[in-house]
């Protein structure tokens, strides 16, 4: 099979990658100006990505951002840092839309849950409530047939 090589990135490559992520997160957010006031924020955090959705009280999606959409790739998408960056971008969008009071609904088991909530609160959004809506199986699926030896 040959020798196994570990590929390490140089400092310049790491800086270029960070610049790409920063540019993607600072892209212009085009929003039509309207005042909504209240909304709901859904945080879906899996082992692979963090997706945050902003809706009005009726459930109509106003904006959404994911760690992959702002430039994080691979295993970096599932980090708490990526989730906090996603939350920062969504809070800016919420302020542009006029949403100030939000309910937060968290779903999933990923590492970005806590950091996304902290980032939303620190960005000045008035959080009314935080709910965990992770689906929990009550009885689960049927177990496999007993093995006969």
- Residue spans of the domains in the chain: they are 38-132
For residues 58-64, average pLDDT: 91
Q: Can you give the pLDDT at residue 29?
A: 58
Selected residue with higher pLDDT from 32 and 22: 22
Q: Where are any strands of DSSP class E within the chain?
A: 37-45, 50-55, 61-66, 99-108, 126-132
For the chain, what percentages of helix, strand and coil (3-state, to nearest 5) are there?
30, 25, 40
Fold adopted by 38-132: Nucleotidyltransferase; domain 5 (3.30.420)
Say whether pLDDT at 22 is over 60. Answer: yes
Q: For the whole prediction, is pTM greater than 0.85?
A: no
Residue of 117, 120, 17, 32 lying closest to 70 (CA atoms):
17
Q: Which pLDDT tens digit goes with each residue over 97-148?
A: 889 899 999 999 888 889 999 999 999 899 999 999 999 888 888 989 999 9
């Amino acid at each position: 099979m040959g020798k196994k090589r570990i590929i390490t990135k140089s400092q310049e490559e790491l800086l270029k990658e960070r610049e790409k992520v920063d540019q993607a997160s600072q892209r212009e957010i085009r929003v039509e100006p309207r005042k909504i006031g209240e909304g709901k924020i859904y945080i879906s955090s899996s082992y692979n990505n963090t997706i945050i959705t902003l809706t009005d009280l009726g459930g109509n999606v106003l904006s959404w951002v994911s760690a992959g959409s702002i430039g994080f790739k691979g295993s970096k998408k599932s980090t708490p840092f990526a989730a906090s960056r996603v939350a920062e971008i969504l809070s800016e969008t919420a302020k542009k839309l006029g949403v100030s009071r939000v309910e937060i609904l968290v779903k999933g088991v990923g590492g970005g849950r806590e950091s996304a909530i902290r980032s939303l609160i620190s960005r000045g959004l008035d959080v009314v409530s935080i709910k965990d809506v992770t689906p929990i199986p009550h009885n689960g699926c049927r177990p496999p047939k007993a093995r006969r030896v």
